[in-house]
Chain A
Amino acid sequence: MSDLSNLYSEKVLDHFQNPRNLGEIKNPDGVGTVGNRVCGDIMRLFIKVEEKNGEEIIKDVKFQTLGCGAAIATSSIATELIKGKPLSQALALTNKAIAEALGGLPKAKMHCSVLAADAVKKAIEDFRRKK
Chain B
Amino acid sequence: MDKVYLDYAATTPVRPEVVEAMRPYWGEKFGNASSLHSFGKEARIAVEEAREKIASILNAETEEIVFTGSITESDNLAILGLTGRFPEKVGQLITSEIEHHAVLDTFITLEKRGYRVSYLPVNQEGQVNLKALEEALRTKTLLVSVMSANNEVGTIEPVEEIGEIINAFNKGKKDWRVYFHTDAAAFFEYLPLDVKRLKVDLLSLGPHKFGGPKGVGVLYVKKDVSLSPLYFGGHQEFGLCPGTEAVPLIVGAAKAFELASKEKEENKNRVTVLRDRLIKGVLEKIPGVFLTGDAERRLPGLASFSFRDVEGEAVLLRLDKEGIAASSGSACTSGELKPSHVLLAMGIPPEEAHGSVRFSLGRETTKEDIDYVLEKLPRVIEDIRKMTPKL
Chain A interface residues (CB < 8 Å from chain B): 6, 8, 13, 16-17, 19, 22, 24, 33, 37-44, 64-72, 106, 108-109
Contact = CB atoms under 8 A, between A and B. Distances in A.
B288 interface: no
A68 B337 CA distance: 12
Given A38-B350, A40-B350, A40-B351, A66 B388 contact: yes
Interface string B292-311: 00000000000000000111
Interface string B311-333: 11110011001000000001111
Contact of A67 (B311, B335, B349, B390): B311
B338 to A, nearest CB: 9
Nearest to B320: A13
B354 interface: yes
Given A33-B389, A42-B391, A44-B389, A67 B317 contact: no
Interface in B108-142: none
Contacts of B386: 22
Nearest to B351: A37
B168 interface: no
A109 B317 CA distance: 15
A66 B389 contact: yes
A112 to B, nearest CB: 9
Nearest to B354: A40
B387 interface: yes
Nearest to A112: B332
Contacts of A38: 349-351
A106 B339 CA distance: 18
Contacts of A68: 311-314, 330, 332-333
11 contacts: A22-B386, A37-B354, A42-B388, A42-B389, A43-B389, A65-B387, A66-B309, A66-B310, A66-B389, A69-B314, A71-B311
A82 to B, nearest CB: 18
A131 to B, nearest CB: 23
A106 B336 CA distance: 13
Contacts of A24: 390
Nearest to B386: A22
Interface centre among A17, A37, A65 (most CB of B within 10 A): A37
Given A37-B351, A39-B337, A44-B391, A66 B317 contact: no
A65 B350 CA distance: 17
B331 A39 contact: yes
Contact of B332 (A6, A13, A40): A40
By Cβ-Cβ distance, the 3 closest A-B pairs, closest first, are: A68-B332, A37-B351, A40-B354
A106 B333 CA distance: 12
A43 B311 CA distance: 13
A72 B314 contact: yes
B313 A69 contact: yes
Given A39-B337, A64-B389, A69-B313, 6 more contacts: A13-B317, A38-B350, A39-B350, A66-B309, A66-B311, A66-B387
B314 A33 contact: no
Nearest to A109: B332
B388 A64 contact: yes
A32 to B, nearest CB: 11
A79 to B, nearest CB: 13
Nearest to B318: A17
B391 A33 contact: yes
Contacts of B318: 17
